Structure 1
Amino acid sequence: MLERKLVLASHGKLASGMNSSLRLICGGITPIETLDCYLTEDFDLEKAVSEIMERHRDHELVVVTDLFGGSVNNEFLAHINRADFYLVAGMNLPFLVEFAMQFQLVDSLSKLIETTLTTAKQSIQFCNQLISSEIEEEDF
């Protein structure tokens, strides 16, 4: 089995911020590389992504980006046909916590991504509406 690598990539410092939160919650369970984009005027996204893809050419690589259709995601999307490369858009902490906890343990990364996405979507809640609905149910 190939060694696995996880990269978080975002506009601004979201990727490193997510990594910081993830380490606080989960500890250092898996090494994570981050790519914070556009922090300087001379930032070259194509070069940065190419370097990551080259550095991890002999790994199973999962990249999680912040925004589907954004420039960061689109640059990684150019590599979508590479073997053992998985690209996920819509970075959020519930997804990363669950995914990172199982990242090194499962056989199939694609199945893990699918199940983790389903669970993470359920964690997004409109709390006002949720609490209001619970209060209405208690009144009956």
Structure 2
Amino acid sequence: MERKLVLASHGKLASGIRSSLELICGNQLTIETLDCYLTESFDLEKEVKAIMNTYRECELVVVTDLFGGSVNNEFLTQIDRPNFYLVAGMNLPFLVELSMQFQQAESLPKLIETTLESSKQTIQFCNQSITNQMDEEEF
């Protein structure tokens, strides 16, 4: 079954992250983006239904910017669809790791779980991390 990755956000975060992701990883994946609310006539419900219809025969992973935000909530209405996986909290480390294994992974849910867990370690308060590292080196 074909796999598809969609990034969806308020404003241009989704297309910006795709740009960074392609710079780091190359264009090995075709990633669709949905930049929401850029015009007054934007219809989120219509856009989400169009994406879901276009990829109804695919394993579909959608990554949104904010859990509980309107973009995430609209995709949540589709959560019972087979082969649909929704992740909130879009960030570059998660997407780099996910995209590197996206096509080869046996199980998308398992890949998402392990990638989420490892990408959490990339969020650091650098001042504290460096201070802790220097303290450890003094012993």
Q: Place the TM-score, normalised by the shorter chain, in its bin.
A: over 0.9
Q: What is the DSSP-based 3-state SS (H/G/I as helix, E as strand, rest coil) of the residue aligned with 1:81?
A: coil
RMSD: 0.7
Q: Counterpart of 1:62?
A: 61
Q: CA offsets, 1:28-78, max 9 Å, x none?
A: 111100000000111100000000000111111000000000000000000
Once residues 23 and 134 of structure 1 are traced to their aligned partners in structure 2, the CA distance between those partners, rounded to angstroms, is: 32
Q: Counterpart of 2:135?
A: 136
Once residues 81 and 56 of structure 2 are traced to their aligned partners in structure 1, the CA distance between those partners, rounded to angstroms, is: 9
Q: Which runs of 5+ in 1 are unaligned?
A: none
Structure 1 position 133, deviation (Å): 1.1
Q: Counterpart of 1:14?
A: 13
Q: Give the alignment's TM-score, normalised by structure 1.
A: 0.97
Q: Counterpart of 1:93?
A: 92
Q: What is the DSSP-based 3-state SS (H/G/I as helix, E as strand, rest coil) of the residue aligned with 1:88?
A: strand
Q: Counterpart of 2:106?
A: 107
Q: What is the DSSP-based 3-state SS (H/G/I as helix, E as strand, rest coil) of the residue aligned with 1:8?
A: strand
Q: Counterpart of 2:46?
A: 47
Q: CA offsets, 1:80-117, max 9 Å, x none?
A: 00000000000000000000010000110000000000
Q: What letter matches 2:108 in structure 1?
A: L
Q: What is the DSSP-based 3-state SS (H/G/I as helix, E as strand, rest coil) of the residue aligned with 2:112?
A: helix
Q: Which runs of 5+ in 2 are unaligned?
A: none
Give the total of aligned pairs.
139
